[in-house]
Structure 1
C-alpha cells in the first residue's frame, strides 16, 4: 500500500499484514537526511498511527546504508546562510505530539507514538541517521556497519537529544566516549555495549526483523503494547512511586476491557487471540 495524499520522493511506505515499513529511499546518496525526507518520514509515521490495522513500524534504508547523516548540500547551505535551516515547514506532520510537552520535539515524538518502531539498520548510520536509530524502540543491524555521532567534526553540538538518550541506552561512560570523540565504531561494538539488540547477516535482516515484528503484532495485545511503550518513556521523567501508581490504574482499567477477556479465552483455548483495540 502506498500513501496517496503526499507524493513520496525520498522514502517508501508499505503496509502488509499489520506491519508498516518505512524505507529511506535515496540510495545514490546513502539515504542522506534532508528536510524533505524528515517531512515524508513523519507523514508516514502519522499514517501508521492512524491505521488501526498497523501494529508495528519498521524503518530501514535502501541500498548499502541506513542513513549517512545530513546531506552535505544541506550542511553547505547552513554555512552559506550563517545559521541552521531544518528544511522543513511549520505545517510538518506531528505524529506522537500532544502526549507530553517533553515529547513534542524533533525525534522525541517517537516516545509519543502508540506503536513500537524497529530500526532495521542495513548499513552505516551517522549523525542524524544514528539519532533516528536510537529513537527507535528496538534495533537490529548487520555486522560490520560503521556508526558515528559525527557532530564533533563539524563544530556542532550533540544533536536532537542524543546527549540525553545515549547515556540511558549504553551508560554514561560509553556515551561520553561516543559523543565526545565522534569516533567511528562498528555495529559489532554497538551490540556488545547494548546499543544494538541483534546482529543479523544482511541477507537475513528483513526476514528476521519482520518475524520479530510479527511476534509483537500477533502475540501481544495492542493496548498492552501501546501502554507499555508509554510507561517506558514517561517513566524516564518521573519517580518510581508515580510509576507504580500509574501501573495500578492501568491494570484496573485494562482488565475491564474486551481484549483481556479475549486473551484469557485464547490462552485457555490454545489459539491466537482476536484483538480489537483500539476498536473496542
Structure 2
C-alpha cells in the first residue's frame, strides 16, 4: 500500500543518503511529519497561547499508559525568573530561558500513592524498580506525543535531559512531593527561521533492526554512519562525529553531569526502586 504525500527526500535525509529509492516504504502525512523532526534550540519572541498548550497536553494524555495508571504529570513553566532557575540547574542552557513555554514531564507516583492512602490501602508496590520504570516510560510516551502535536502545529521543541542533572534541587524548585521525579524537560516555541537546522541522520537500519535475535553491528556500518553524521555536523558548523560522542558520554562518572547519583536521588525522593 502506498499513499500520495510529499515525502520526497525526507527518508534519504533521515539516513543521510542521497537516494530515497533505497527506502521504498509506505508514507502519509503523519510519517512525513515524523521524518521531518528536528530539535529546535532558537525561538522567536512569539508567544504560545494557553489553548495551544492545552492541546499539547491533551495530545500527551492520548499516549499509551501502562494499565491506564497514568503515572505522570507535567509542570508548565512560563515565568522568566522560574525558567532562569530551571535553566541554571539544567546545564545553564539559554534556550530554556528563551522558549515561551518550558514543560517538565514528571514520573508521578505521588498522586496514586495519595489515592491509595485515602482508601487506607497499602502502597508497598511503589517501592520497586518496575514501578519506577512504568512512570518513566509513561512520562516519555506523553512527552513524545506532545512533541509530535507541537510540530504538527508549526511549533519547535527540544528535549532537555539535563533536568536530571540536579534532580533533587529541581524537585524543590518545582515543589514536587515525595514520589514525583523529573524525567525530561521540553522547550516549546516558534522556531527562529534564521537559525540553522536540518534533519539529523540516524543510524542505518542494519544497525538497529534485528531479525529474530540480536546481532552485533558491523564495524563498516558504524564507521559509515560516523562519517555521515560528521558531514552533517560540519554543515551545521559543529565539527564532531558520532563515535566520539558515544565515547565521551560513557567515559566516566563525570560525563553524566550528576546523573550518576540517580538511584540515591530516587530513593530520597520516595522512589526506592528496589
Establish whether TM, by shorter chain, passes 0.5.
no
TM normalised by structure 2 equals: 0.29
More RCO (CA 8 Å, sep 6+): 2
TM normalised by structure 1 equals: 0.28
Larger-Rg structure: 2
